Amino acid sequence: MKTLSILAILNFLTGFAFSQAEIRLVTNSSPFQTGDDISGTVHTLPVYSPGTYALNFIVTNTSGTPKNWNIQRLRIEAPAGWLDGLNWAPFPDNEFTGACYGPDAMPSNPWTNPHTMEIDSNGILMVHLTTDQPDCAHYRYYVMEGSEKVDSVDIEICYVLNVLEQKEVAGMTAYPNPANNLLTVNTTGLGGNYEIRLTDVLGKVVYHETASGVKKNLDVSEFKNGVYLVTVLEKGVVIQTRRVVIKH
């Protein structure tokens, strides 16, 4: 029971220490928007090509008293050749008082200069991560008051290959609608032969053909005016059905 009580107290104190700030990812700069509070969590960033990626976080003082905060970056895991930089400033920073570390001048675990955070005021943490090879990295950014860790946010960035080579989702479109003389069926994600079936509203098949390629033009000039269903099948499985109107 004593052990459980001690653990409960420690958990309470830990939660209190990490409840003085909110950290939100900037999701749009114009109009300015931020996401949910992600303090104490890991933000995952998958990327598919080498380059420099920028992330901006708004840090809000929710402690109820003015604070003097700075940022410490901890490089938990980073491949050789990957670079990172950061900027910590009031938000907005009209007097350019922020502290910056460029990728070439980044110490192993830097601390930025502190600045005063009034009650409910904001600071902006700007992070730049440069990848040059397929791999993953893990960085942690502590909000610090002196030597005390007030809050944190982690970034995991993974540069992965072949993700964009996944098969395109199978589907089809049919146009124009209404159609007069020609109806074009355009398919996506189909690698080989497929079937095109045209039925009237009573379910009668009025056209059936095995086709290949992305696009197929159907001559509907002799069809009666009315509503039809165009269905594309691959190996007997319905991929998609569209409702079209034929009107001469």
pLDDT of residue 106 exceeding 50: yes
Binned at pLDDT 50, 70 and 90, residue 75 comes out as confident
Tokens encoding 70 = 């700075």
pLDDT digits (tens, 9 = 90+) for 153-180: 999 998 887 544 445 678 888 899 899 9
Percent of the chain with pLDDT strictly greater than 70: 81
pLDDT of residue 194: 92
Inter-CA distances, 240 with 32, 43, 172, Å:
40, 37, 6
The CATH number assigned to the domain with range 19-163 reads 2.60.40.10
Q: How far is it, in rounded angstroms, from Cα 4 to Cα 12?
A: 12
The CATH number assigned to the domain with range 167-246 reads 2.60.40.3080
Residue type, position 205, single letter:
V
Tokens encoding 112 = 């930025």
Query: Which residue would you say has higher pLDDT here, 55 or 7?
Result: 55
Residues spanned by CATH 2.60.40.10 within the chain? 19-163
Beta pairing, strands 135-145 & 67-77: antiparallel
pLDDT of residue 200 exceeding 70: yes
pLDDT (average), residues 87-92: 85
Residues spanned by CATH 2.60.40.3080 within the chain? 167-246
**Mean pLDDT of all residues in the chain?**
82
Identify the three-state secondary structure at position 224.
coil
pLDDT digits (tens, 9 = 90+) for 215-235: 899 999 999 998 898 999 888
Most confident of 17-21, 75-79, 220-224: 220-224
Q: How far is it, in rounded angstroms, from Cα 113 to Cα 125?
A: 12
Given a contact cutoff of 8 angstroms between Cβ atoms, the answer to whether 131 and 157 are in contact is yes
pLDDT (average), residues 99-113: 63
pLDDT of residue 191 exceeding 90: no
